[in-house]
Amino acid sequence: METLDMARRNTMLEKIRGSDDLRIANEFFRVPENQEKIIRDLKSASELSKVLSDLRRINSDMLVKQISI
């Protein structure tokens, strides 16, 4: 029974924290300078993700070649 109460309490705390985080994020995003920075960061992250994906594919291809040799 105690475990269930703890789980419920933790869930409620997570919801409260989540709503605070969302409120803070909304306030941050309303500032135009912050919007521009976020968009730049997202573009950079997208490019980085593509590079990492390519590197994983190359690494996988190299591993397959080594195994087949």
Domain count across the chain? 1
Give a yes or no: residue 15 inside a domain. yes
Give a yes or no: residue 35 inside a domain. no
Tell which wins on pLDDT, 61 or 69.
Answer: 61
Give a yes or no: residue 4 inside a domain. yes
pTM: 0.42
Q: Report pLDDT digits (tens) over 30-50.
A: 888 888 888 888 888 888 888
Q: In which domain, by residue range, is 24 found?
A: 1-30
Confidence grade of residue 13 (pLDDT, cut at 50, 70, 90): low
CB 48 within 8 A of CB 54: no
Q: What angle do CA 10, 14, 20 make, to 5 degrees?
A: 145
Give a yes or no: residue 45 inside a domain. no
Give a yes or no: residue 46 inside a domain. no
Tokens of 9: 């309490």
